Every structure is written in C-alpha cells, then in structure tokens.
Structure 1
Amino acid sequence: MTKTVLVTGCSSGIGYVCAHALAKEGFDVIASCRKSEDVARLNAEGLYCIQLDLADTNSILTAVEAVREYTGGKLFGLFNNGAYGQPGALEDLPTDALRKQFETNFFGWHTLTQAVIPMMMENGAGRIVQNSSVLGFVALKFRGAYNASKFAVEGWTDTLRLELAGTPIQISLIEPGPIESRFRANALDAFYQAININNSRFESDYRAQQSRMESEHSTNKYTLPSEAIIAPLLHALTAPRAKIRYRVTKPTHYMALCKRLLPSRMLDRVLAKGG
C-alpha cells in the first residue's frame, strides 16, 4: 500500500525538493504551503498541496482535517520542515519577535504533530521527521531566536521519542548545517521587521550580516543544496530502525565533535568566530 507523507514548508528549498523527491520515490505526498499562490503553483506541478500556516492553530487543524479526509485517516509520515530564522541580538529583539519565531518553528510543530499522532497510532505505523539544525545543539550570536526555537525542537523531540517507546511510531531529527535555500531572504525580511539597526550597539555587525543575507548565494564553502536532505529523509521514513539523528553538512559533524570534546569556554571561542 502506498504510504502518505505530509511535508510542511514546501514553497521552496528543502520542503520543495523533498516533496517532489518523495513523490518520485512512490510516496503519496501531501505538500503544504502558507500562501495560497504557492499552493496553486505546487498543485499545478502535480503535487497534492494544501494550505497550512504553522503560526495559525485554526489553519493547522483545518489542514489536518483535509489530510484525514484525503487519506481516510491513513497518514504514515510527517516531515516537520516549515520554519524561518529571526536574526538579531537578543537584547535588540522585541518579545513579540520571539513569540512569532516560536509560533512557527515550535508551537505550530507541536500542534500539528499532536494532531496526527492518533492517526498513526490507529494505523499501527508512523514516522515523524523533524528538520532541526546544527543550531539546535550549538549557538551562534545574532541568531538567538532561531537557536532557542531549534534547541526547543531538539528537547521536545528527545522527550517525545522516550514517550513513544513501545509504540509503532518512530521519530527522528535531521540536523543540517548551511543549506542553499530561500532561508536568507526570509531571514532578511524578519530582520527588517524586528530590528532597528541604527539604534543598536551592534550596528556594524548588522551591516555585515545584512550584506550576507542580501547575497543571492551563500559564501560558505560547505553549503550544500537542498537535495542533501533527501537521502536522510528517505532513510528516516523507510529504514526498519530509523536513526535518532541525521547530521548533514561538514559543519554539523564538526560542531557535534566540538560539543562533545571541548570545554564550554573553548567551545565559545570556536563559536564566536561564526557570528
């Protein structure tokens, strides 16, 4: 029987390429996007796409009902991917900017996952895959809101894995480092909305960051295309025993090693160079 997988954040980048890749691999894919025009575009490309705004509980629950109706309650997989990055020093970030970050990157994921778990339990099988980040286990300056949301995802996922032990549902984390996508462009929009550059002691740092975010392509030599997530996602969905964590890109592997081996203050010196 064809297995159905719901993928969030499919308008571009990782969600977009993974939704198409899963469809080519024979999965019945339900893609989702926040904007109606993106939903229409993906439907025109041959994917079944629904509208789902992770910052809106009603939108999430409406989408889950659409999933239940489409699948007859037979949803197998969920790839929690939709997210964005809110740049800015923590002392400059309005609390509302942090709330917005968590609504999309964390609370929305919780609401969606909580709503689909009963379907997976009823069906006797299920896979939940969380697209986290290297910034889910190490922190970089000026990325505090995003760091916090991804640290929360990691702790939440580890807890859920313990609570799902003995059930037919497996849960995994994918931890990418730099990936080529629209992430920088979306982060730039959030940056302009929340940060007053001229009134910050970090103005010069912000100007440098602004230049990087405005660049069409990443200057990080270790950046991989969004397609780098396909293989770990497929493994997490199909392996008899999915991995707990899939680390993608050299910086993620390097930082995981540093986190394990280095004293905290030495690790701080390493991380300070990547601000």
Structure 2
Amino acid sequence: MQKSILITGCSTGIGLNAALTLQKRGYRVFATVRNPNDIERLQNLGLDCYHLDVTDNDSIEQTLAAIFEQTNRQLDFLFNNGAYGQPGAIEDLPTAALREQFETNLFGWHELTKRIIPVMRTQGHGRIIQCSSVLGFVSLKYRGAYNASKYALEGLTDTMRLELKDANIQVSLIQPGPIDTKFRANALTAFNKHIDIEPSAYKDDYLVQIERLSSKNPGGAMTLPSSAVTKALIHALEAKRAKVRYRVTTPTKMFSLLKRLLPSCWLDKLLAKG
C-alpha cells in the first residue's frame, strides 16, 4: 500500500531532494513550499505541491484540509524541514528577529505537528521526523537565534517522543552539519534585513561573515549534498525501529563526540574559532 508523506520546505535543497527521491521510491509525496511562486516549478518536476506557510495558522488548516481530502484523512509520515538561519550577535539581534526565527523554525512546526498527531493516533501509526542541526547541540558565534531555535526543537522533540511512546508514533531527529543548499544565501538575506553592522562592536567579523555567506562555492570538503540527509530520512521512514538521532556530516559526528569528552572550557575554545 502506497505510503504518504508531507514534507515542508521543498522549494530547494534538502526538502526538494527528499520529495523527488521518495516519489521515485513509490511514496505519495505532498511537497509544500512557503513561496507560492515555486508551486508550478515543482509541479513541472512531477510533484504534488501545495502552498504552506507554517507561520500562518489559516495556511496550515487549508493545506491540511486539501491533503486529507486526497488521503481520506490519513497520513503516514511528516518531515518537518523548512527553516532558515538568522545570523547576528546576540547584542545586535532585534527581539523581533528572534521571534521571526522561532515562528518559522519552532512554533510553526509545532502547530503543524499537533494537528497531524490526532490523525496518526486514529489510524494507529505514524512517524514524525524533525530536521534539526549540529547547532541543535553545540553553539557557534553569531548564530544565536538559529542555535536557540534548534536547541528548543531538540527539547520539544525529545519530549514528544516520550509522550508518543505508546501511540505507535515514532519520532526522530536528523542533525545535519554543512549541506550544499541555499541556506547561506537565505541567511544573508535575513542578516541584511535585521542587522545594522555600522555601530556594532562586531563590524569587522560581520564583514568576514558577509563574504562567507555571499560565496558561491559549496563550503568545503566536509559539505555534503542534500542526498546525504535524504539517506538518513529513508532509514527513519523504513527501518523497523527508527533511530532517535541521525547525525549527518563529519562535523556533526565529531562535535557529538567532543561534547561528551571535552570539558566545556576546552570545547568553547574550539567553537570560538568556528
């Protein structure tokens, strides 16, 4: 029987690769995008695409209604993926920018997920996969808003996993490190929107960050393609017992180990160079 999955953030990168790959594997994929201008492009790729802005409750309600009409109110899997990074030092970060980060990266995911869980309970099964980050358990300078949203996501997801233990709904986290996507370009847009570099004590560092975010190269030898995340996602969907966490890329695996082994002061020295 064909399995169904809703994926958020499918315009490019991880979400798009996951949607195309799973469709080829026989899944019924409901690919969603925040920008309605992307719908036709994804439809031309053969995807069943919907507009979904997770920061808008009406958008969530309307999109789920349309999808559930197609599936007789059933859904096997949810992959929460659509997110962005807001760069900037904590002291330069407007509180409004922090709220925007959490609305997209946490609160919107929560709203969508809690509307889907009752459907999974009724049908007697389901799996929820959350795309976190290496920055969900270690922190880097000038990534405070993103760090905070992903740390919060990890805590919320761990709690949800415990609460759904007896409901036959498995919950997993994927923790990518550097992946070749448009993440940096989107981060630069967010940076320019909210951060004023001129009066900042971090101006010189910001100029370096702007150059890095503007670079067209994929980000170095440790940067993996989006398909690396899709590989982990497939295991989370198809394994009899999904893993709690999937660590993708060498930096994620390395920092997971170092966080357990190193004193905090030593780890801070290492992270401060990042």
Is TM > 0.5 for Structure 1 vs Structure 2?
yes
**Counterpart for residue 71 of structure 1:** 71
- Per the normalisation by structure 2, the TM-score is 0.99
**Counterpart for residue 96 of structure 1:** 96
> How has the CA–CA distance of structure 1 residues 219 and 232 changed in structure 2, closer, same or farther, with 3 Å as cutoff?
closer
Question: 1-side partners of 2:270 and 2:58: how far apart?
Answer: 42
CA deviations over 1:159-183 (Å, ceiling 9, x no partner) = 0000001111000000000000000
Q: Residue type matched to 2:94 in 1?
A: P
Whether 2:163 is the aligned partner of 1:163: answer yes
Root-mean-square deviation (CA), in Å? 0.8
| Structure 1 residue 69, shift from structure 2 partner | 1.0
Question: 2-side partners of 1:154 and 1:172: how far apart?
Answer: 10
Question: 2-side partners of 1:204 and 1:70: how far apart?
Answer: 53
| Structure 1 residue 92, shift from structure 2 partner | 0.2
**Counterpart for residue 82 of structure 1:** 82
Instruction: Report SS of the residue matched to 1:128.
Output: strand
**Counterpart for residue 195 of structure 2:** 195
| Structure 1 residue 217, shift from structure 2 partner | 2.1
Q: Residue type matched to 2:140 in 1?
A: L
**Counterpart for residue 176 of structure 2:** 176
Correspondence list, 1:1-275, <5 A: 1-274=1-274
Question: 1-side partners of 2:217 and 2:76: how far apart?
Answer: 35
CA deviations over 1:125-168 (Å, ceiling 9, x no partner) = 10100000000000001000000000011000000000001111
- Per the normalisation by structure 1, the TM-score is 0.98
Question: 2-side partners of 1:217 and 1:72: how far apart?
Answer: 45
Question: 2-side partners of 1:120 and 1:169: how far apart?
Answer: 7
Question: 1-side partners of 2:235 and 2:107: how far apart?
Answer: 26
Unaligned runs of 5+ in 2: none
Instruction: Give aligned-pair identity as a percent.
Output: 57
Q: Residue type matched to 2:180 in 1?
A: E
- Indicate conservation of the 8 Å contact 1:178/1:223, yes or no: yes
| Structure 1 residue 220, shift from structure 2 partner | 2.8
Unaligned runs of 5+ in 1: none
CA deviations over 1:45-88 (Å, ceiling 9, x no partner) = 11001000122122112111112112111100000000000000
Question: 2-side partners of 1:87 and 1:70: how far apart?
Answer: 39
Question: 1-side partners of 2:156 and 2:219: how far apart?
Answer: 32
How many residue pairs get aligned? The number is 274
